[in-house]
Structure 1
Amino acid sequence: MYTTFTDRHPDLQKRCLLDVLCVPHNNFWCYRQTTLRRLPMSRYSLGSFLQKSAAFCGSVLGGIIVLSIFLAPVNSWSGETFTITDTAGRKVEIPTNLQRIVTGPVVMPNLLFAVDGTGDKLVGMHPMSKSAWKNSVLKIMAPGMEKATTDFIQGGFKMNVEEVLKLKPDVVFQVSFEKGNIEQFEKLGIPVIVTHEGLRNLDHYLEKHISLVGKVLQKEERANELITDFKNADQMIAKRLTDIPKEKWPRGLILFNVEKLMVTGTGSFANYWLNHTGAENAAKAIQTSPRGATVNMEQILAWNPEVIYITNFCPTKPEDLYNNTIPGQDWREISAVKNKRVYKIPLGEYRWYPPSGDSSLMLKWMAQKNHPEHFADYDIREEIRSHFTDIYNFTLSEAQIDRILNPASTGSWREK
């Protein structure tokens, strides 16, 4: 009447297979083998439960009740799977019908939306992802992201595995340096996709991650459209920059966090953004993470950047530098401040400093700021409007375009 529970990985109890209800036959309940939601066996003593339920299952009603109990934790796992290769080169088997996704990397929700056109599958995301969603047009485009919880993030990118299990994920995305989390999910039999491995150049990062998301969601054609959109903008700007001698490129500086004087040098996305839009990274001599490294005002004064960009990971606005209101800092003698060339990086579908579905817009916007005389033939507002129409099938209002170009400080860090 019952088949035994088997396990593709006996030591981990990775998947439990149970013959569950199908059709009555000769007064017995016939069962077919169905892949159940993968559950840690420590939570469910399945063998004991079956023994106690064997007699009960002899009736139609009993079989239905037991079936409902077993199916209660089941989400989208139907037994059909396919394999992808993540950024660490790991082969990961994932269910074909993904419905519940948890992400630790801050950029992943925006990339998932850009490829999928919805945020309904997200059940968990990083607080920094949620704060950007709450304060951007993405809140209107992807209302389904509201249900995504952030409570499972313990600090940094580390996840509380027990809290993640409560979300019953079909797949988890996690950054490569959280190796402890990755091992925990592997032991529990939960597919975990590693991101960020060995990818420091923004073009490689963007292409690899959008391509990865396209494979996971089985929307590779859509992913290729986004990659092509980015490459077309990059090539257009590169062609124009050939007419501008490098000695005329301004010294640029991207401040990840102004209050902490965190600058972005080699090893961050800053080199790509600045170099591909016609500026020299003033901080290129220092090695930093994507989030930057802390320096002092003396160092910034020595660099004397001619144009400054402030990310959306801090609440500071250009006026704070112009008015010199930041305690312990003096910006009065910095060229970019004196010439009013300090800019807050926009917040569109996501923050524009990291890779996003709006990365082609970041290139066009920054090229205009670095060389306004060479990129004056297009209206950035119209570029934004067309991008959102063509890429996201969403029509922006004038007020929404204003908000993208002048983002609120509240979108800077964690969800409030």
Structure 2
Amino acid sequence: MAPSIAFYEVSMNRVGIAGGAALLVASCAPLRAHADCFADLAGREVCLLHPARRVVTIPMPSASTLIAVDGSAQRLVGMHPSSKKAIDEGVLGRMFPQARAIDASVAGVGADGFMPNVETLALLDPEVVVQWGDRGDDIVGPLRNAGLQTALLRYGTEPLARGNLALMADIAGKPERAKELIAWRAATVADIETKARDIPEARRLRVVYLQRAASGLAAAGANSYYDFYIRLVGARNAADGLSSAPAISAEQIAQWDPDVILLNGFEEKLTPARVYDDEILSATRAARERRVYKMPIGGYRWDPPSQESPLTWMWLADLLYPELFHYDLRAEIVGAYRLLYGRTPSQADLDDVLRLSINGDARYYDRFAASASK
């Protein structure tokens, strides 16, 4: 059984804010001059007269993270168009219908789609704008020049994911919520690590996460977040010889011959047929054994770090080592959504989150069907 919501509650005082997140929060402490000041993930001091009532988020995951931390979409007045797309495509738009009407024209031109639309922002009159803090000043300078209060985040590791939760909680004036959600993450990591520790080297499956597959091919290399959770559950990243996510060929994937292929959740029309129908990729062990899976989508896409990442780790652990991990994932999602959003998803919602219509005929995926739930 999973560490579950009950497990994390019991573990909260014992685990606390673990690992790099503890160092991150500790490093912020000197900047907290008074109750309404806090540090962002770039180490800058952010001061608000009160918990922000009007927030714009430009980094894609931060819109749904703010909703999870706050338990509502009321503070959110603007978001990136890709954030809106995920809300419309996933279950969050059904749980918080008002989120569908939030302005999504705050960015999207230049600088990889994150250049702020200052004119739109002026009309929205936000008290704080959340922006990337590690992608250069070109996308931050226009906000500063317009006199807009900014909070910068960074991305790509589990400590930073926990720090981003803390940042959103500070913006909403709910720091205790971050501790609660971080404790759940820490407890889940500890539970998975304990179970995966004794997997023999010969049993550590080779996994490839395709960050792009619908148009060209790109695989996530070493030191990526995908590499982190592939290793967390006891597997090996077959692409760990790569840095970042460079373009690769089908022949390269065939040479790796992975046991499992994970398809990104960002390319909306991408399905396992992309692998099964490919002359080269169909020869891989993953294709022959029907172990090609498209990543789920819940309150946000499960591929990158988000408020729902512990569910990603449980999902992958169950699929890779079903004889070792026995999470009742449908029950875990229900418990997590009550914790994160204060909502109870329907059985149809769970089918959609897990993409049963796409992944249902893949190996071991029947354990996620409603009929298999314990």
Aligned-residue offset at 1:371: 0.7
> How many residues are aligned here?
319
Answering whether residue 191 of structure 2 is matched by residue 236 of structure 1, we say yes
1:115 aligns to 2:65 (yes or no): no
Structure 1 range deviating more: 383-392 or 101-110: 383-392
Whether 2:253 is the aligned partner of 1:300: answer yes
1:158–1:181 Cα contact (<8 Å) kept: yes
| Equivalent residue number for residue 284 of structure 1 | 240
The answer as to 2:360 corresponding to 1:402 is no
**Residues 209 and 218 from structure 1, CA distance in 2 versus in 1: closer, same or farther, beyond 3 angstroms?**
same
Q: 1:162 aligns with which of 106, 115, 119?
A: 119
Q: Does 1:181 align with 2:139?
A: yes
Cα deviation, 1:126-173, whole Å, max 9, x if unaligned, reads 111111100111012222212222223233211122222121111101
Residue 306 of structure 1 deviates from its aligned partner by 0.7
Match of 2:300 among 340, 345, 350: 350
User: Taking every aligned residue pair, what percent have the same amino acid on both sides?
Assistant: 32
The answer as to whether partners of 1:104 and 1:153 remain within 8 angstroms in 2 is yes
Structure 1 runs (4+) deviating above 4 angstroms are none
Partner AA of 1:188 in structure 2 = A
1:163 counterpart letter in structure 2: T
Identify the residue that residue 369 of structure 1 maps to in structure 2. 319
With normalisation by structure 1, the TM-score equals 0.73
- Seen in structure 2, the aligned counterparts of structure 1 residues 408 and 135 have a Cα distance that, compared at 3 Å, is farther
Secondary structure of 1:381's partner? helix
Q: CA deviation at 1:380?
A: 1.5
Q: Quick one: distance in 1 between partners of 2:115 and 2:49?
A: 24
**Is 1:90–2:65 an aligned residue pair?**
no
- CA drift of 1:186 comes to 1.9
> Does the Cα contact within 8 Å between 1:104 and 1:173 map onto a contact in 2?
yes
1:348 deviation in Å? Answer: 1.0
- Length-normalised TM-score, structure 2: 0.81
Cα drift, residue 267 of structure 1: 3.8
The Cα of 1:81 is off from its aligned counterpart by 8.6
What runs of 5+ residues in structure 1 fail to find an aligned partner? 1-79, 410-416
Is the contact made by 1:250 and 1:279 (CA closer than 8 Å) also made in structure 2?
Answer: yes
1:7-406 matches, cutoff 5 A: 82-155=36-109, 156-176=113-133, 177-196=135-154, 199-201=155-157, 203-259=158-214, 260-288=216-244, 292-314=245-267, 315-324=269-278, 330-375=280-325, 377-406=326-355
RMSD: 1.9
Shift of 1:188: 2.6
Q: Could you tell me how far apart the structure 2 residues matched to 1:164 and 1:221 are?
A: 29
Q: Is the helix fraction higher in 1 or 2?
A: 2
Instruction: Provide the secondary structure at the position in 2 that maps to 1:332.
Output: helix
Letter in 2 for 1:296: S
Q: What is the identity, as a one-letter code, of the residue corresponding to 1:237?
A: I
Which structure has greater strand proportion?
Answer: 1
Give the deviation of 1:389 after TM superposition: 2.7
**Alignment check: 8 A CA contact 1:81 1:96 kept:** no
Report the Cα distance in structure 2 between the residues aligned to 1:163 and 1:359, rounded to whole angstroms: 32
Q: What are the superposed Cα offsets for residues 196-244 of structure 1, whole Å, 9 maximum, x if unpaired?
A: 1xx542x112111001111111111111111111111111010001221
Q: Is the 8 A contact 2:253 2:281 kept in 1?
A: no
Structure 2 gaps of 5+ residues are 1-33, 359-374
Q: Which amino acid aligns with 1:321?
A: V
Aligned-partner Cα distance in 1 for 2:136–2:123: 20
Determine helix, strand or coil for the equivalent of 2:43.
coil
Q: Contact 2:169/2:177 (CA < 8 Å) preserved in 1?
A: yes
Equivalent-residue separation in structure 1 for 2:119 and 2:329 (angstroms)? 46
Cα pair 1:124 1:167 within 8 Å, conserved: yes
Q: Deviation of residue 178 (structure 1)?
A: 4.3
Query: For residues 106 and 132 of structure 2, what CA distance do their matches in structure 1 show?
Result: 15
Aligned mates of 1:258, 1:153 — CA distance in 2:
25
